[in-house]
Chain A
Amino acid sequence: DAGVIQSPRHEVTEMGQEVTLRCKPISGHNSLFWYRQTMMRGLELLIYFNNNVPIDDSGMPEDRFSAKMPNASFSTLKIQPSEPRDSAVYFCASDSGRAGSNTGELFFGEGSRLTVL
């Protein structure tokens, strides 16, 4: 299995630009998670989906952030407009658990390192 695939691995953009991060979860996994990692705040859960439906988006920092999962094999995290404080590594992870019963064994992608100038 190819594992969780994220793109791009690195993104450098200017403040005010739109950023779209992409994730392909492991085939057959029912839950997908977006995390943000910074030195100051550590790992923060932004949003998670189960069977393509957003279950909890309480970690999304503000309206500039949005996430979609149009099908079981693809998700996007969009930031519009981006700001320097959004600079971080964004991880996507998937879990093989069934609805309402995640296993807790997350499989992480290698992350997308975002730098907003």
Chain B
Amino acid sequence: GENVEQHPSTLSVQEGDSAVIKCTYSDSASNYFPWYKQELGKRPQLIIDIRSNVGEKKDQRIAVTLNKTAKHFSLHITETQPEDSAVYFCAASIVRNTGFQKLVFGTGTRLLVSP
């Protein structure tokens, strides 16, 4: 089936703490997992992505880990800052019979970083 579950739905942290958002997917053939950040009223922005041939990827304060066996992937933000406050969406690719890589999105996590 096509399903991506995302937890938690809301996450409040103090500035400087770490934040972790977790997603699970259902299609074992999924091989591409992007994360998007969406500020209020703005467009979703790609912040990091990972493909299934790697287990972890890091970009400054942001890292993503992937466990293909368990069909889990997670976003880790270290040393959080107030400007990290936004809604974060995970997504997993589903390859359709047309060859098209469709993205199925999670329901989002509202992250609030308090100063």
**Binding partners A and B:** no
